[in-house]
Amino acid sequence: MVLEARPQATVVALDLFTESYKAHFGSEDGQARLAANLRAAGLEHRAAIQAGDMRKLPFEPASFDGIVSTYAIDHLSREGIPTSLREASRVLKPGGEFLLMVIAKDYWLKFAFGPLLLHSGTSGAEWWTSRLQEAGFQMIEQGTRPATLYLLARKP
């Protein structure tokens, strides 16, 4: 979606691509699946795929104009979350923006998954805003969509 919405953008897709990935998405090679999806969309020339840990990003400081994290950081421990947010700040250029999307417990999630499968560690907007500010970000916008809390922050 980012590549389609921003024709001049390039992206780096980062994931651990470990056994945890296979447990969630099947035994297929995650990098190969993502590459096939990019080829099918005709966008493979604008995206790189890299294995890595968001708690220790394999990039130089100030490497990116923007970062998007969707439904990943909220799966980390309470210690891993601040670490990953500091890493995002480190690799983001000054003035760069960070879009964070996490699971929000709301009617839609409860309807779709029921009470037994709800994400147990979900935190609210105030908690996430505090974590982003502690990592050095300025809040720009926040809101909700079905089952999603989004926060847009900028690195000063």
Say how far apart CA 82 and CA 55 lie, in whole Å.
9
Given a contact cutoff of 8 angstroms between Cβ atoms, the answer to whether 43 and 3 are in contact is yes
Secondary structure (H, E, C), 32-68? HHHHHHHHHHCCHHHEEEEECECCECCCCCCCEEEEE
The predicted structure's pLDDT at residue 30: 83
pTM to 2 decimal places? 0.85
The number of beta carbons lying within 10 Å of the beta carbon of residue 46 is: 16
C-alpha closest to that of 57 among 1, 5, 98, 109: 98
Tell me the pLDDT tens digit for each residue of 94-126: 999 999 999 887 776 777 666 655 555 568 899
C-alpha closest to that of 11 among 67, 69, 59: 67
- All domains of the chain in start order, with CATH: 1-52 (no CATH), 55-156 (3.40.50.150)
Tell me the pLDDT tens digit for each residue of 19-41: 777 777 776 788 888 899 999 99
The predicted structure's pLDDT at residue 122: 65
The number of beta carbons lying within 10 Å of the beta carbon of residue 42 is: 10
